[in-house]
Amino acid sequence: MPITDILRQNAAKYGSDVALVEVNPEIQERRRVTWKEYELIETDPYCDYRREITWGVFDEKANRFANLLISRGVKKGDKVAILLMNGLEWLPIYFGILKTGALAVPLNFRYTSDEIKYCLDLSESDILVFGPSFIGRVEEITEDISKNRLLFYVGGGTGGGCPTFAEDYDHLVSNCSSADPMIELTDDDYAAIYFSSGTTGFPKAILHKHRSLMHSCRVEQNHHSQTKDDVFLCIPPLYHTGAKMHWFGSFLVGGKAVLLKGVKPQMIIETAAKEKCSIVWLLVPWAQDILDAIDRGDIDLDKYDLSNWRLMHIGAQPVPPSLIARWKEKFPNHQYDTNYGLSESIGPGCVHLGVENIHKVGAIGKAGFGWEVKIVDEKGEPVERGKVGELCVKGPGVMTCYFNDEKATNEVLKDGWLYTGDMAQEDEDGFIFLVDRKKDVIISGGENLYPVQIEDFIRSNIKVKDVAVIGLPDKRLGEIAAAIVEIKPEYECSEEELYSFCNQLPRYKRPHKIIFADIPRNPTGKIEKPKLRRIYCGESVVASQNKG
């Protein structure tokens, strides 16, 4: 069935139950609340920055936007782009688009004006829905993008502020019918276009059907056993499949979700406690920041009731085993899990560790619910167990294609298998370990170096907050490994100290350069290695050569 049917079912069964909560600590003063579904509890200052809607209101809002779009001529197969920060409006807008039979096209909130225009053109989007944070960027390209497109401005219920070059979404939807348009949809109808991370240039447009979205719901609920009583804390941006598809497990059973606009450790812990969250999905940097804040005494866990919190899971990147060991020391009762996935495989879960396999921390796991996996060599032949090869996945969640890019599609889709570009190996128990991105492998003197392995080791140093290993050009060896290291603010560390620490590694894996600098990460927590390569490759680097 199409994913819109789940929203209809939840509204019918749980109409008066809370579906979504927005917690926005950036709001410093109480604002006037004009929408009837907003609730403030006057005795609790925490609620100065809290909004919520029920399943019934969620469905009504989706219907209102769907009817607005239909009144403007939107039909099956059209595309509507979303450029919004996380908030209560995001998901009703997303589902309103789907209810028309159109495709939702979420955009990365970090896109520049040029990237916004590029993605609108590539996806052939007919409408752009954007929020206050993007007025300047959209205005820069208005003349180019508004010729054949409608622009809707979402003020977030605060009223006013709509720029002259756009129409006021808040005003328009208030005058639209809340009746469901009941456009007939099937699993084979196209539902959404997501964009790749764009690490090799401008992003690719990833086309998915309703079947993919529904499979994501079933995979997540199968892996984490969500029930109606679970409360999911969502922090990552909703434009990305990782956040939304983890929420899909709660969506499937009508569970409540809390959208937290902020990543400060204290706010994550406070929100988890006040909202009685049972499932929290974190990125590696956020988990590390929480542990560091606890160690510094900035967070006193005894002050918070976290008894409802049952599951902490991490995705989007390899997880250092040392991090989970620290986490279990602070939160011994938590289940832990990790999931692997790509936007091309509709987000997380095509490979899955499982809460029962914490003894295999460091692995991404085995084939997820309804998925197949294999590891192949450069000829596409399966490699022997223990050998490194490219990870391939197959299942109902694989994308249809890269929209308007047949060449790129043919490079990664072969006989139903998605070639992920990730290098991996399988251990004697059948668990898969990520080794590195295919393009990130460093070939030094004919030896393949996998940065993730070096990063995991360096990150085990108590003074290291974050680390990224990249290859730098070298006349003799072709490439050498350079470690960009970010030290925790409460520590001091010298190059000599780190070189000495790295002497525990085999000689060929030791970094030849150590550079102290901040590690850039994108909104989904992935290290932005292309940015680091632009900074350091081919440029003179102030760092000493490895003395070992």
Shared-domain flag, residues 66 and 203 = yes
Is 299 within the bounds of a domain?
no
Shared-domain flag, residues 360 and 453 = no
d(CA 313, CA 263): 16
Shared-domain flag, residues 428 and 479 = no
Res 161 pLDDT > 90 = no
Amino acid type, 58: F
- Domains contained in the chain, number: 3
d(CA 75, CA 485): 51
CATH code, domain with 516? 3.30.300.30
Question: pLDDT at position 33, please?
Answer: 39
Which candidate, 349, 435, 344, places its Cα nearest to that of 387?
435
Res 36 pLDDT > 80 = no
d(CA 225, CA 141): 45
Q: Which range marks the domain in which residue 121 is found?
A: 56-210
Among residues 440, 471, 496, which one ends one of the domains?
A: 440
Shared-domain flag, residues 436 and 487 = no
d(CA 148, CA 463): 54
pLDDT tens digits for range 434-472: 887 777 778 776 667 878 889 989 988 999 999 999 999
> Between these two residues, 40 and 393, which has the higher pLDDT value?
393
Is residue 7 within 8 Å of 58, Cβ to Cβ? yes
Report the DSSP pairing between strands 401-402 and 205-209. antiparallel
Q: Compute the average pLDDT of residues 242-257.
A: 94
CATH code, domain with 162? 3.40.50.12780
Is 14 within the bounds of a domain?
no
The 3-state DSSP composition of the chain as helix, strand, coil percent (nearest 5) reads 35, 25, 40
Shared-domain flag, residues 432 and 454 = no
Strands (E) in 138-189, as ranges, are 150-153, 167-168
Shared-domain flag, residues 102 and 143 = yes
Shared-domain flag, residues 64 and 177 = yes
pLDDT tens digits for range 139-159: 999 999 988 899 999 997 555
Q: Compute the average pLDDT of residues 491-516.
A: 91
Shared-domain flag, residues 176 and 101 = yes
In eight-state DSSP terms, residue 332 is T
Cα 109 from chain centroid (whole Å): 12
Question: pLDDT at position 160, please?
Answer: 62
pLDDT tens digits for range 2-26: 999 999 999 999 999 999 999 988 6
d(CA 467, CA 457): 10
Among residues 142, 177, 210, which one ends one of the domains?
A: 210
Q: Burial level of 514, CB count in 10 A (0-12/13-18/19+)?
A: buried
Distances (CA, A) of 144 to 74, 121, 134, 150, 243: 21, 10, 16, 12, 31
In whole numbers, what is the pLDDT of the chain averaged over residues?
Answer: 88
Shared-domain flag, residues 397 and 518 = no
Shared-domain flag, residues 425 and 392 = yes
Report helix, strand or coil for 467: strand
Shared-domain flag, residues 200 and 150 = yes
d(CA 530, CA 78): 33
Is 35 within the bounds of a domain?
no
Res 524 pLDDT > 70 = no
Among residues 395, 415, 440, which one ends one of the domains?
A: 440
Which candidate, 345, 344, 341, 475, places its Cα nearest to that of 353?
341
**Which residue in this structure is represented by tokens 């290993």?**
469
Is 517 within the bounds of a domain?
yes
pLDDT tens digits for range 266-301: 999 999 999 999 999 998 878 988 999 999 999 999
pLDDT tens digits for range 298-347: 999 999 999 999 999 987 666 778 889 999 999 999 999 998 888 999 87
Is 246 within the bounds of a domain?
no
Shared-domain flag, residues 156 and 100 = yes
Name the H helices within 254-389: 265-274, 284-296, 321-330
